Amino acid sequence: MSATPLQALPIDQLRQRSSTKWRKYPADILPLFVAETDFPLAPAISQRLARAVALGDTGYTPPEPGVRDAYAAFAQRRFGWRVDPARVRTTCDVMMGVVEILRSVIAPGDRVIVTPPVYPPFYDCVAEAGGVVERVPLSATADGWQLDLAGIEAAFAAGARALLLCNPHNPTGTVHTAAALAALAEIAGRHDARVISDEIHAPMTHAGAQFTPFLAASETAAQVGFAVTSASKAFNLAGLKCALMITASAETARVVDALDDEVEWRTGLFGAMAAVAAFDAASDPWLNSLLAALDANRRLLAELLAEHVPGARYRMPDAGYLAWVDLSALGWGDNPAGKILREASVALNFGPHFGAPGKGHVRINFGCSPELLREAVQRIGALIPA
Distance CA 263, CA 95 (A): 12
Q: Residue 30: CB partners within 8 Å, gap ≥ 6?
A: 345, 346, 347, 372, 375, 376, 379
The 8-class DSSP code of residue 258 comes to T
The per-residue pLDDT of the chain, averaged, comes to 97
Distance CA 84, CA 63 (A): 17
Q: How far, rounded to the nearest angstrom, does the alpha carbon of residue 347 sit from its chain's CA centroid?
A: 19
Please determine, for residue 327, whether its predicted confidence score (pLDDT) is greater than 60: yes
User: Are the beta carbons of 145 and 174 closer than 8 angstroms?
Assistant: yes
| pLDDT value of position 178 | 98
Task: Write out pLDDT tens, residues 144-156.
Answer: 999 999 999 999 9
Distance CA 294, CA 306 (A): 18
Q: Averaged over 270-287, what is the pLDDT?
A: 98
Task: Write out pLDDT tens, residues 90-99.
Answer: 999 999 999 9
Distance CA 213, CA 167 (A): 8
| pLDDT value of position 386 | 79
**SS3 category, 359:** coil
DSSP secondary structure string for all residues of 196-251: EEE-TTGGGBPTT-----GGGS-HHHHHHEEEEE-SHHHHT-GGG--EEEE--SHH
Distance CA 165, CA 357 (A): 17
Distance CA 43, CA 277 (A): 9
pLDDT band at 66 (very low <50, low <70, confident <90, very high): very high
| pLDDT value of position 152 | 98
Please determine, for residue 1, whether its predicted confidence score (pLDDT) is greater than 60: no
Task: Write out pLDDT tens, residues 78-89.
Answer: 999 999 999 999
- Nearest Cα neighbor of 235 from 11, 25, 48 is 48
The 8-class DSSP code of residue 143 comes to T
Please determine, for residue 226, whether its predicted confidence score (pLDDT) is greater than 90: yes
What percent of the chain stands above pLDDT 70? 100
Q: How far, rounded to the nearest angstrom, does the alpha carbon of residue 127 sit from its chain's CA centroid?
A: 20
Please determine, for residue 213, whether its predicted confidence score (pLDDT) is greater than 60: yes
Distance CA 264, CA 363 (A): 32
Q: Averaged over 233-260, what is the pLDDT?
A: 98
Task: Write out pLDDT tens, residues 162-189.
Answer: 999 999 999 999 999 999 999 999 999 9
Please determine, for residue 266, whether its predicted confidence score (pLDDT) is greater than 80: yes
| pLDDT value of position 2 | 77
Q: Averaged over 122-130, what is the pLDDT?
A: 98
Amino acid (1-letter code) at residue 248: A
Q: Averaged over 216-224, what is the pLDDT?
A: 98
- Which domains are seen in the chain, by residue range? 11-40+284-381 (3.90.1150.10), 46-282 (3.40.640.10)
Please determine, for residue 159, whether its predicted confidence score (pLDDT) is greater than 70: yes
Q: Averaged over 242-258, what is the pLDDT?
A: 98
Task: Write out pLDDT tens, residues 14-50.
Answer: 999 999 999 999 999 999 999 999 999 999 999 999 9
pLDDT band at 229 (very low <50, low <70, confident <90, very high): very high
Q: Residue 104: CB partners within 8 Å, gap ≥ 6?
A: 255, 256, 258, 259
Cβ neighbours around 8 below 10 Å, total: 21
Distance CA 195, CA 149 (A): 13
**SS3 category, 133:** strand
User: Are the beta carbons of 123 and 116 closer than 8 angstroms?
Assistant: no
Sign of CA dihedral 293, 371, 20, 354: positive
pLDDT band at 138 (very low <50, low <70, confident <90, very high): very high
User: Are the beta carbons of 34 and 350 closer than 8 angstroms?
Assistant: no
